[in-house]
Every structure is written in structure tokens, then in C-alpha cells.
Chain A
Amino acid sequence: MFYREAGQFKTSYQADQAIFPIRQDLYAYIAFLAVAFIGVPLLASDYFLSTLMLPFLVLALAAIGLNILTGYAGQLSLGTGGFMATGAFAAYKLSTAFPDMHLIIVFLLSGLITAGVGIFFGIPSLRIKGFYLAVATLASQFFLIWMFNKFGWFTNYSASGVISAPPRTVFGDFYITGPQAAPVTKYLFCLSFVVLLALLAKNLTRSNIGRKWMAIRDMDIAAEIIGIPMLKTKLIAFAVSSFYCGIAGAFWAFLYTGSVEPLAFDVNRSFQVLFMIIIGGLGSIMGSFLGAAFMVLLPIFLTNAPHMVGVEISVSTLSHLEAMVFGVLIIFFLIVEPHGLARLWQIFKEKMRLWPFPH
């Protein structure tokens, strides 16, 4: 009844190409951003910000990265953790080697370095597809983690192999990293970055390069015959995807945990991000956020729900339970709704457009 485009006429193709062609969507989005930028920092506790919102934002960014590669360009990858580690270690090396370098530049550069690594490991994608490509990217995952463990240069020869983010400020004296940094400033910094990068990703996916990616995903032979250069387009997907994953890894190390060892980015991380985009929605930027929110919230819900109904479950049982619930959900989504939560949201909106009438 309220969600309806009646009376909204488009007079230009530009208006028709907008991200939110229906005005209510735009208003809802602006309201949502206002809550995220103003409401959450005012109301939420530090604990909430640093244990829920930061991992959510960082993982959402990694999910956007993987979604570009797997959801849009159709190249199955299990190397997300390795690329995140690359971003984290690149940011660490850059910020310790050049202490005066601005933190934003550090993050962007570490994204670019990861993009380069991604291009290198994307080269096999010209020849192999599907599960075989997944195995090839899995090799990159193990290789990268092994490399960061093996060579002390990456951790500045720290004995434990753990890297800690050096304290840095942006915009005057706001500490973003290090022990003095307040969760609120971290959150706002991270949120601004993620919102901006998500917008850029959305633009990429609805422009020429996005159509090329989807063409390769849907029918690669036809894509080649209409003139899409295969290798170049796939490598661009690897580069952009790794850029996002790299920045996500740097954020993980610098903003979320503060210090990190290579093991934090092992193959489980890759699977976690892959599950996010499967549950959230392959080929949807919004789905990346929904999937990340789901994966971050579900364990917390599972931990607290038994308490609320007065049942005590041991911690180890809980962690088994968590794995089982995720397994069931993945199977459920793959069979019932391969386009994930994002598709369910879309169906809900289509129902709302008609409500309260049947059709």
C-alpha cells in the first residue's frame, strides 16, 4: 500500500538507470544510513560496536569482494582468506616501513598490492573452471598463509608471528588503530569506507564491466563470440575482488582485532565468506551485507537463545551445533533459493508492491 511506484514517472534513461528507481527505496536507504552513521554510535555500547559491528562491516567488505568474483563473474574462489591475509600483512609492512604514510593511503595501497597478487593467482582461470578453479585458488590460500608464516620479514621478525597494528591517527588526532583508538571512531571510519566501497562495487556491477562479468558467468562461449576478451575480463574480476578482500583483511587486522596472526586467515575464513555470499545472495551487493550480518549474528543468537529458554548447553556442544546449523542452512539455500536472502528480500518487496491486493 505504501510501497508503490504509482505516480513516479521517469522521463530520462538516466533516471531509469538509477540504483533506486523507486523513491521509497531511496528514502529507506537514506534512513538506514542515518541510523548507521548517527543512531548506532549514539546508542550502541563499545562492546556492541567492537564485537558485532566491526566484524560485520569487515566481513561484509570481504563478501562484496568474493561476490564480485564468484557471484558476478562466476569464478569460484576459495582463496579469500589468503587475499585478506595479503591485505593485512601489506598494510602492516607499509605502515611500519613508512610511519608517516597516511592510514587511508596505507589501506588503499595494501588493497592494490592484494589486487596484484589476485591477478597472479587468477591466471589459471583462463584454462580451468568451476571446482577445478576452486582447487587452484585453494592452493593460493595455502601458499599465501604458508609464506606469511615461513618468512619473518612479513612480521618484522616477531617471535610469535603475530602482527600488531601500530597506533595511527586520521583527520588530526583521532586514533583509528592502536590501544588508544575508541570503538566509535573505528566504527565510523570503517563504516564510511565500507559504504563508499560498496557504492563503487554496485556501480561496477551495473556498468559495462559488470555486464561483461555476468556474461562470462552465464555463458562464456557466447561472451567470447560477442567480443569479450576472456583473460582480461576475468583478471579484472580477480583484481577488483582481491582489492576488496585485501582492504577487508587490513581492516580485520588494524580495526577489528588490532593484532593478528596468519592463522586468522586460514581456509576456514575463506569458507566463512563463501557461506556468506551463498546465504546472502550470489550476484548481489546487498546480499553480501545480509549474509555477513547473518553469519555474525547467528552464533550470538545460538549462544544466548538456550539461556533465554532456561536450557544450559555446554560450549563445545554449542560450537558443534553452530556448524550443523550452518551446514543445514547452506544446503537449504542451495536447493531452495540459490539467490539467497537478497532474493527473498526482492520477493518480499514485490509482494509489498501489490499488498493488500492479490495481484
Chain B
Amino acid sequence: MSTQRTFGEILLKVEDVHLSFGGVKALTNVNFDIRKGEIRAIIGPNGAGKSSMLNVINGFYHPQQGAITYKGVTRSQMKPHEAARQGIARTFQNIALFKGMSTLDNIMTGRLLHMKSGLLSQALYWGKYLREEVAHREKVEEIIDFLEIQAIRKTPVGRLPYGLQKRVELGRALAAEPELLLLDEPMAGMNVEEKEDMSRFIIETNDQLGTTIALIEHDMGVVMDLSDRLVVLDYGRQLADGEPDEVRNNQAVIDAYLGVTE
């Protein structure tokens, strides 16, 4: 699918990022960009620094060195809720849903940045606030339809099976109407059928909503099929950056994945 697709300007640019925890270097000199409308994959063996990279992008970790340019604004630090406000949403490797709340409420929390009513009108739950709540409920119902989770609308997410929880988490991220969606191993631990469903949702999100996606995934088949371009990390260093075919034939990448005799 990467052949006829064309992309807009650079949405996010990562330049010379270094991140370390004490003596452990999580990221060393990482440089890449994400263009508007593309699906960008970040791959690498375990502990390569992929999740750290996502955490840097959405402001959860602050790199010691380097700059991140998002929508033309360069910054070295940003708070997570500021990143959310600027249109960056994400899902987590270990599901981070709000377990005590229903599917519907979980996805509604994704809308909270778009809701403006004050405390008093929420307490009254009347007139303006009621209209706002219903309007956002309609948006959320669109997402519920899109992800085909109508039947579990009122179920507390703690009771849902793993695959569905992953889907609800995607729903919560989509509800924020992000420009950049970060997916941390959206298919980990899923069977083939669930993976196919999830791949379909990712492609449709990108295709119909025009959302730019950065994803981390271990299933190489999925990554090669879905992504337009890949970044390969190993031990925090950047091994390769390019289209799937280039990366597949890159000797450094093959060595990192298969090991090399010295």
C-alpha cells in the first residue's frame, strides 16, 4: 500500500534526541520525522527504546538532549496534558483503561478536552450541559459503531477480554480526535483474527479520518503491510529509517534481529 500514497508536510520531527536513566542510555541520537497522513512504524528488539520514544513524543519523558518539532513548534519539554491538548493521543503497551468505568464512560473521557461546561452547570445537568453531554455522546457512539463494540457499551471494562480492552483503548484515543495517534503494540497478545480486526481499524482510521499514526509493533508481517515508513531502533540507537522494502534488506537490521557471529 505504500506505493501510490503521497503525504503532506512534516507533522513531527525528532532531532538528535538523547534520553538516559542514570547510566542506562535509553535513546542515543535518534532522528526521524513523521509526515502528515502516514503510518509510521517504530520497530526493534525488546528494550530497544521504542516505548521510550513514544513517551518522549507525548511529553511523559523529557530527553536530556535534542529537540522535537511538532506542527512547526520546537520544544525540548512538554507536559503530557499539553501534548494531549495539541492533538497527540496514545494507547499503551499494558492496557491503561479506567477499570471501574464502563466502555462508554472510558471513551467519553477521551472527549473531555472538547467539553467546556463549568462545574455548576455540570452539577445542574440541565440545559446547556445536557446538550453538550448528548452532543459528545453522539460522537462517542460514532466511534463505538466504528469499532463494532455496541454490545459492550455499558459493561465495566475490567470485565472485558483482553482483545476488546485494546479496542476500547483505541476508541478512547480516537475520541480525542487526535492529529497524531501513538499506538504502543496495539496487537500484542492477540490471535490472528483479532489482529486482522485491529489492522482494519488502524487502516480505516488513517484512511477515513486522515489521522497520522505512529505505531510500535512486533509482528513483522503486520508492520510491513501497514506502515508507509519504518524507523528501526536497537539499544537506543537508530539502525535504519525508510520504506518497508529498504528496511527489510538492510544488513544492520537483519543482524540486530537474527544476531550476528563475530
Contacts and interface: CB of A to CB of B under 8 A. Distances in A.
Given A14-B130, A214-B105, A208 B58 contact: no
B124 interface: yes
A12 B90 CA distance: 31
Interface centre among B60, B92, B112, B141 (most CB of A within 10 A): B112
A72 to B, nearest CB: 10
B119 A225 contact: no
B150 interface: no
A67 to B, nearest CB: 14
A358 B149 CA distance: 27
Contacts of B98: 214-215, 217-219, 222-223
Contacts of B101: 211, 214-215, 218
Nearest to A239: B119
A240 B119 CA distance: 10
A229 interface: yes
Contact of B84 (A13, A227, A236): A227
A158 interface: no
A90 to B, nearest CB: 21
B133 interface: yes
Given A219-B99, A222-B98, A227-B84, A17 B134 contact: yes
B109 interface: yes
A343 to B, nearest CB: 12
A17 B122 CA distance: 13
B81 A227 contact: yes
Contact of A225 (B80, B115, B124): B80
Q: Identify whether the interface residues of A are mostly helix, strand, loop, or mixed.
A: helix
Interface of B: 58, 60, 80-81, 83-85, 89-90, 92, 96-101, 105, 108-110, 112-113, 115, 117, 119, 122-125, 129-130, 133-134, 137-138, 141, 172-173, 176
B134 A14 contact: yes
A219 B122 contact: no
6 contacts: A203-B123, A204-B123, A208-B108, A211-B105, A219-B97, A227-B80
A203 B124 contact: yes
Contact of A229 (B81, B133, B172): B81
A142 B154 CA distance: 43
A1 interface: no
A225 B109 contact: no
A223 B134 CA distance: 22
A222 B81 CA distance: 10
Contacts of B122: 203-204, 207-210
Q: Identify whether the interface residues of B are mostly helix, strand, loop, or mixed.
A: helix
Contacts of A215: 98, 101, 109
A212 B106 CA distance: 10
Contacts of A236: 119
B97 A228 contact: no
Nearest to B115: A208
Contacts, number: 105
Given A207-B123, A225-B58, A227-B113, 18 more contacts: A13-B137, A13-B141, A207-B122, A207-B125, A207-B133, A208-B112, A208-B133, A211-B105, A217-B100, A222-B92, A225-B80, A226-B89, A226-B112, A227-B81, A227-B84, A229-B81, A236-B119, A283-B100
A44 interface: no
Nearest to A16: B137
A221 interface: yes
Contacts of A283: 100
A303 to B, nearest CB: 37
A206 B58 CA distance: 29
A211 B97 CA distance: 12
Nearest to A222: B96
What are the 7 tightest A-B residue pairs by CB atom distance, in nearest-first order?
A227-B84, A222-B96, A218-B98, A203-B125, A207-B122, A200-B123, A13-B137
B109 A226 contact: yes
Interface string A312-341: 000000000000000000000000000000
Contacts of A223: 98, 109
A350 interface: no
Contacts of B129: 207
B100 A13 contact: no
A46 interface: no
A56 B35 CA distance: 62
Contact of A211 (B90, B108, B113, B123): B108
Interface centre among A207, A218, A223 (most CB of B within 10 A): A207
Contacts of A227: 80-81, 84-85, 112-113, 176
A224 interface: yes
A181 B112 CA distance: 47
Contact of A226 (B84, B105, B141): B84
B157 to A, nearest CB: 9
Contact of B97 (A12, A17, A222): A222
Interface string A4-29: 00000000111011000000000000
Contacts of A229: 81
Interface in A254-300: 283
Nearest to B157: A218
A14 B176 CA distance: 22
Contacts of A240: 119
